[in-house]
Chains A and B, each alone.
Chain A
């Protein structure tokens, strides 16, 4: 059973989503409660829904040395890597530790399947068209392979693809490898981009709302899908560390159903308990919880009940999917970045999109943005197949 973990430093982090490129764009959107959803204008056939789309990806091909990796998903990853000095921080880690001592551990649900879809839309006599005859794109490992190539890293390189918990779970992979001395630093995070597979896929399950998503609203009627990329560089803390800290994580399975959460949130609760144990904290220590809050009927019902029975009213909580949409395999890292920003700036993000709160929700919910000192915060990420993850962070300068 888990022992409390030694905290790890988040040396650098960044995110790009419908809210904009980099941390400042996100901080500003959270401070002003301004969301980024728009009517769907991307699927290859019309679909009446709202999406969280990143502007400008179409116009920004990858630089020539990485041309073989060029596709929407890797472009978004590249754009995100250029923000907030993140790429420089990775190069610095590579310089300090060596290429084989820095891991690339990334989450995605569909990687660059958009490129495979495109190939099938314009097959050349039944074969992939010549310009997409690039095997490295047509695999779930495309993203991690690309990021390792960008930084010329030769450490462990793993794709985690557990649907919507993917880019939360990579923090756990990194902690284990650093603790065991296999590596000295890890680039964690993930990227997912809008594509037909997810838009029409979730539509086929009748999980997509025709309106902007309304997490925890009593009239919520489904998710809005978004795209995002985010990354964090994790390493052991230095003396007098001033970076924010990863202090815990938890992972557990529902063992219930492929596309419906456990009715009592059993897996989610086990992941939460695992997180608190590894962090060595109690629910009363948690100042903010970023909820998975997809605006699907079932998820929000189960998660609201878990929140209400587990945490005191002093724990503030919100879903930020009303800002960004559900960014699927990138949700873990995007919401980790939002959680770190909330602590940095002392802003509890509003649970955007809910006008008539579900009566299941307790006093923890932030129906409006709040100013508060947030020292310890959690982020929930739950995936298809009953795959649950939770992360715990401490604000910079706060010893765990």
Chain B
């Protein structure tokens, strides 16, 4: 059966506790380096004053998106983007709910406009002067797979490259006990329908049912993968880091997996 969608990966970005970028992560996966002390995500694509004030979710998303776009060499101002997160900025949601419960009139206007799920997409398009379509999506626990399917569909449907970034931060307060997110993790991909200059190829096919996640046996990767919903992408990212041709399944919705055949240009 032929794949429903074929996209080529032109850029990759990643931030994990202990791996400040995609190259750092690749070296750890290849056994060439150990996880390092965590660093603040380097979102140098944002103007300095925005970078200072930006909430963690925006920094994280902009950092990985910046890495992926840099690797792709594409013109960021014309690149449509899809930002995904299961839970958005949980620290801000925790602040909002806490403040609303006690002193609703003291709600910070800056926190409020940073609380919208599309804050990273907004800051990103402003910083990069991008007038193309931008989106902010969620798929709950399946946010990464849902975002991958949507971004690949957009790239193929409109025959143009698309930037996707999927991020989640650690939970805070009573909300954090509901979301069960123990750490921050983010990943970005530039997907294109065209092969030239690509690092890897993905054939994507939706498959009914969820087969669930399997431990890889690598303690660091398995702990990472369990840290938040965006980190469900870890098996895919580890395979990409190893440049292994492989097949895997990731959840895209309740009752729907994405079968991914990962290959590399000859």
Complex Cα distance A232/B119, Å? 27
Interface check B117, CB cutoff 8 A: yes
**With A117-B100, A120-B100, A201-B112: A139-B132 Cβ-Cβ less than 8 Å:** no
How distant is the Cα of A383 from the Cα of B156 in the complex, in angstroms? 26
- In the bound complex, what is the Cα–Cα distance between A227 and B132 (angstroms)? 29
In the bound complex, CA of A155 to CA of B258 (Å): 11
Give the nearest-CB partner of A162 in chain B: B118
Q: How many residues of B contact A (CB 8 A)?
A: 66
In the assembled complex, B157 has its CB within 8 A of some CB on chain A: yes
Known A-B contacts A117-B97, A126-B174, A127-B177; the reply to A253 vs B113 at CB < 8 A is no
**Contact mask for chain B residues 160-197; partner A; CB cutoff 8 A; 1 contact, 0 none:** 00000000000000110111100000000000000000
- Contact present for B132 and A252 (CB under 8 Å): yes
B253→A154 contact, CB < 8 A: yes
Q: CA–CA, A292 to B108, complex, Å? A: 26
| B150–A158 CB distance below 8 A | yes
Cβ of A362 under 8 Å from chain B: no
Interface of A, helix, strand, loop or mixed by DSSP: mixed
CA distance A45 to B140 in the complex (A): 31
Q: How far is the CA of A148 from the CA of B135 in the complex (A)?
A: 21
Q: Are B206 and A176 in contact (CB under 8 A)?
A: no
Question: Judging by beta carbons under 8 Å apart, are B131 and A177 in contact?
Answer: no
Chain A residues within 8 Å of B107, by CB: 200-201, 203-204
Q: How far is the CB of B124 from chain A (nearest CB, A)?
A: 9
**Candidates A121, A145, A160, A180; contact of B135 at CB < 8 Å:** A160
Alpha-carbon distance A159/B150, docked complex (angstroms): 11
- Expressed in whole angstroms, the minimum distance between the Cβ of B227 and any Cβ of chain A is 16
Q: Which residue of B lies closest to A175 (CB)?
A: B157
Q: How far is the CA of A365 from the CA of B108 in the complex (A)?
A: 36
A99 to B174, CA, bound (A): 35
Residues of A within 8 A of B143 (CB): 141
Q: Which of B192-216 contact A (CB under 8 A)?
A: 206, 208
Given A45-B105, A160-B135, A179-B157, do A120 and B125 touch, yes or no (CB 8 Å)?
Answer: no
- In chain A, positions 164-183 with a C-beta closer than 8 Å to chain B are 169, 172-173, 175-177, 179-182
Docked pose: A257 CA to B110 CA in angstroms: 12
- Which B residues lie within 8 Å of A280 (CB)? none
Interface: A25 (CB within 8 A): no
Contact A156 B149 (CB under 8 A): yes
Q: Are A116 and B93 in contact (CB under 8 A)?
A: yes
Question: Once the chains are docked, how many angstroms separate the CA of A170 from the CA of B133?
Answer: 13
**What string of 1s and 0s marks CB contacts (under 8 Å) between B100-122 and chain A?**
11001101110011111111011
* Distance from A360 Cβ to chain B, minimum over Cβ atoms (Å): 24
A357 sits at the interface (CB 8 A): no
Closest to A116 in B: B97
In the complex, the answer to whether A180 meets B256 with C-beta atoms within 8 Å is no
Q: Tell me the smallest distance from the CB of B231 to a CB of chain A, in Å.
A: 16
Interface assignment of B44: CB less than 8 Å from any CB of chain A: no
A259 CA to B110 CA in the complex, in Å? Answer: 10
CB–CB B153/A140 < 8 A: no
A270 touches B131 (CB 8 A): yes
1/0 per position for A121-136, CB-CB distance to B under 8 A? 1010011100001111
A41–B131 alpha-carbon span in the complex (Å): 40
Minimum C-beta distance from A219 to chain B (A): 24
Partner of A163, one of B116, B126, B177: B116
How near does chain B come to A336, taking the closest CB pair, in angstroms?
18
Chain A residue with the shortest CB-CB distance to B128: A255
A80–B245 CA distance with the chains assembled, in angstroms? 47
Other A-B pairs, 18, CB within 8 Å; known A100-B206, A144-B139, A252-B132: A116-B97, A116-B175, A119-B97, A128-B174, A133-B178, A139-B86, A144-B140, A154-B255, A161-B116, A161-B137, A162-B121, A163-B117, A163-B118, A176-B157, A253-B130, A384-B113, A384-B116, A385-B134
Q: What 3 pairs across the A-B complex have the smallest Cβ distances? A: A385-B122, A154-B255, A141-B140
What are 28 A-B pairs at a CB distance below 8 A?
Answer: A2-B158, A44-B100, A44-B104, A99-B255, A100-B206, A100-B255, A113-B93, A120-B98, A123-B101, A123-B174, A140-B140, A144-B138, A156-B252, A157-B146, A158-B137, A158-B146, A161-B136, A180-B153, A182-B149, A196-B104, A197-B115, A200-B104, A254-B125, A255-B131, A384-B116, A384-B118, A385-B136, A387-B134
